[in-house]
């Protein structure tokens, strides 16, 4: 076993001395792929840490960048003459941006706006270190070569990506009630809806003509004479229909209450 371990360690040591061009030729071999990933891992980690914010752990970002690095290794074609890191950089950046857009922010924003937020954040960090103070909107706009209103839009969009609970007071240290307790009002039509449903159920035993007469009388506020003219019955007949229908519904409601 000790001999085997020394052999594996020796193979890894020799792999580290192999020219990278030779590694790309042997990319299908697990050991070659592992060595390629190891050689460029610091590069991927550096990109990941440039995305670091207070809302996402650095280890999670490095994991996303590592998976993106493996994808880049799979897709890279050395014959094109492009340096690997120049090829891998857009892939790693794209995966990290997608990670933030799809998983980190509760509220999703358009991709162009998300990228502008990242530019503004980076400019604020650089300018703060250079100026030893918070930069102004105009200074940020000059730094990233964009209009001031676009900087303001990005700042506002960043704040709106993380909604605040309706149960959270505007000023946590005050005795102010939560917004959920102040917004909205009691619906005065709720009981009316319930009554309508009850009456509709009580009318199930009525004929179509009976329901029509009730609708014309109580919903359209027509007189018995007008109803009689509408449906072609006498006023006396309409009166009997109304009385019979109301009695039938009253009995149904009493049975329901019992």
66 contacts 99 by C-beta, under 8 angstroms: no
State how far the Cα of 222 lies from the Cα of 216, in Å rounded to an integer: 6
Per-residue model confidence (pLDDT) at position 4: 41
The confidence score (pLDDT) of residue 7 equals: 43
At 147-186, the pLDDT tens digits run: 999 999 988 887 776 666 666 666 656 666 666 666 666 6
Q: Give the global pTM.
A: 0.39
pLDDT tens-digit map of 230-246: 999 999 999 999 999 99
Residue 175's pLDDT is 64
| Structure confidence by residue, pLDDT tens digits, 212-226 | 998 899 889 999 999
- pLDDT confidence of residue 224: 92
**3-state SS string over 26-54?**
CCCCHHHHHHHHHHHHHHHHHHHHHCCEC
Other CB atoms within 10 A of residue 101 CB: 16
Question: What SS3 class is residue 173?
Answer: coil
Domains of the chain and any CATH numbers? 1-104 (1.10.1740.10), 106-165 (1.10.10.10), 190-257 (1.10.10.10)
Q: CA–CA separation, 118 vs 111, rounded Å?
A: 11
pLDDT tens per residue, range 10-53: 444 444 556 888 888 888 888 888 999 999 999 999 999 888 87
Residue 256 above 80 pLDDT? no
């Amino acid at each position: 076993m000790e001999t085997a371990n020394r052999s594996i360690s020796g193979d890894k040591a020799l792999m580290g001395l192999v020219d990278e061009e030779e590694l790309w030729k042997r990319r299908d071999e697990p050991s070659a792929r592992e060595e390629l990933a190891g050689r460029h891992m610091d590069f991927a980690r550096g990109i990941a840490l440039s995305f670091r914010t207070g809302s996402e752990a650095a280890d999670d970002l490095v994991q996303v960048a590592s998976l993106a690095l493996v994808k880049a290794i799979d897709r890279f074609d050395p014959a094109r003459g492009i340096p690997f890191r120049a090829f891998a950089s857009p892939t790693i950046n794209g995966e990290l941006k997608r990670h933030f857009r799809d998983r980190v922010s509760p509220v999703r924003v358009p991709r162009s706006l998300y990228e502008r937020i990242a530019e503004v954040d980076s400019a604020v960090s650089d300018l703060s270190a250079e100026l030893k103070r918070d930069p102004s909107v105009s200074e940020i706009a000059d730094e990233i070569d964009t209009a001031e209103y676009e900087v303001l839009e990005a700042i506002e969009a960043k704040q709106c990506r993380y909604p605040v609970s309706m149960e959270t007071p505007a000023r946590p240290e005050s005795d102010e009630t939560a917004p959920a307790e102040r917004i909205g009002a009691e619906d005065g039509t709720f009981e009316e809806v319930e009554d309508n449903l009850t009456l509709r159920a009580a009318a199930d035993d009525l004929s179509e003509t009976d329901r029509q007469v009730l609708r014309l009388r109580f919903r359209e506020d027509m007189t018995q004479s007008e109803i009689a003219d509408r449906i072609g019955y006498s006023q006396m007949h309409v009166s009997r229909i109304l009385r019979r229908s109301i009695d039938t519904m009253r009995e149904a409601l009493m049975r329901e209450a019992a």
